[in-house]
Amino acid sequence: MNLPNKLSLFRIALVPIILLIYIFPYAQCGIAIPEFTIQFVTLRLTNILILILFVAACVTDYLDGYIARRDHLVTSFGKFIDPIADKLLVNTMLIVFAVKGIAPVVPVILMIWRDVIVDGLRMNASSKGIVVAAGYLGKIKTVLQMATIVLILLNNLPFELWRLPLSEIMLWFAAFVSIISGVSYFMQLKDIIMETM
């Protein structure tokens, strides 16, 4: 297995670790989590730790693609596993935020619906021997989602100090780009989908 694919698998391995840190019942176990306050905005130590792990995972997302292209290590497995790693990482965080009431539910649902539909399109294409790599809009969507998650983990700092809800604005914008990229995938693969209707 080449290095880019190992980086994608490492990103997947980080997901349950991040999730466990986020949802662990610290209070019920008598564990007090230190908090830091910047003016009126509070940051928990767990958020900072998750932020570090999340950013590390995001860096592997950039590195695996860069190394694969630079060293001519692009493989069908890499095209398959890279978007899955991204979706596991991003969607897990978004679902947790929505469940905890930190992020609005509607844009999260829209993005997950889009991912399910795109995955269905990819599976259909794959059954006909066509491997569909992540498109340009899909990559922009992922970057927007990752930036939004970073802001949410920082409790919207520094923008919260000016009462600017940038993390929520970016979440809705990411949902919009997500839908547009989903339509783009559909248009790209519609002939394959419609051929047996």
What percentage of the chain exceeds 70 in pLDDT? Answer: 95
Q: What is the pLDDT of residues 102-130, one digit of tens each?
A: 999 999 999 999 999 888 887 877 777 77
57 half-sphere exposure, CB direction, 13 A CA radius: 31
State which residues form the domain around 125: 3-194
101: pLDDT strictly greater than 60? yes
Helices 105-127, 166-194: axis angle to 10 degrees equals 30
Q: Nearest 10 degrees: CA dihedral of 33, 60, 147, 86?
A: -100
Return the DSSP state at 102: S
- What's at 172, amino acid-wise? W
In which band, very low, low, confident or very high, does the pLDDT at 179 lie, cut at 50, 70 and 90? Answer: very high
What does the pLDDT read at residue 76? 79
Predicted local confidence at residue 185, as pLDDT: 85
pLDDT digits (tens, 9 = 90+) for 25-53: 999 999 999 999 999 899 999 999 999 99
pLDDT (average), residues 90-108: 95
Looking at residue 134, its pLDDT comes to: 66
Interatomic CA distance for residues 142 and 61, integer angstroms: 10
Q: What is the value of pTM for the model shown?
A: 0.91
Confidence of residue 190 (pLDDT cuts 50, 70, 90): confident
Q: What is the pLDDT of residue 130?
A: 72
Q: Are 131 and 121 in contact (CB under 8 A)?
A: no
Cis peptide before 104 (omega within 30 of 0): no
pLDDT in tens, 125-175: 777 777 666 678 888 998 999 999 999 999 999 999 999 999 999 999 999
CA distances from 184 to 81, 178, 191 (A): 20, 10, 13
Token pair for 56: 């590390």
- We report the CATH number of the domain holding residue 185 as 1.20.120.1760
Q: Which two tokens stand for residue 126?
A: 């794959």
> Amino acid identity, residue 171?
L
Lowest mean pLDDT among 65-69, 91-95, 152-156: 65-69
Q: How many domains does the chain have?
A: 1
Q: Are 35 and 45 in contact (CB under 8 A)?
A: yes
